[in-house]
Structure 1
Amino acid sequence: YGLNLAPDYRPWDKPVGGSDNASFALLDIPVIWYHTDGHPDYHMPGDHVEKINWNKIVDITKASFLNMWNLANEKDY
């Protein structure tokens, strides 16, 4: 699909922290966590829109769509 991503698969039994996925993981609901990587100002006052990696967001959006499409069309899980 021409995605410019480098998946970093790290199994994590109970991911916790400030991300929304933690509440699902704590209830044993599987999660896929997409992230565009951080930078020195990530979640800091200097974290402005010009620091967003838009190309990576587009590729992550495509990958997440493909993941959901495949899951929705599976006959068996």
Structure 2
Amino acid sequence: MDLNVKSTENIQYMVDAITKKLRMVNTGAISPEHFSSSSYEELKDIYELVARKNTFSPNEMQAIAEELGNLRK
């Protein structure tokens, strides 16, 4: 999978990976349909941050959730 290509499938993959890694309970609030290709780069940055870390503080999780909320359509 080439995440450098803006596609609906890549958005779906990144959102799924982020929600699984952060063990988000309310995944309906952050679904792939809520993100447009115009916010793709920002979403990819968040995905890369989440992918490279193993643990997150509550403050980090809140900041990530807030940022995802800001990127929603």
Q: TM-score, normalised by structure 2?
A: 0.27
The structure whose Rg is larger is 1
Q: Greater helix percent: which structure?
A: 2
**Larger RCO (CA under 8 A, 6+ residues apart):** 2
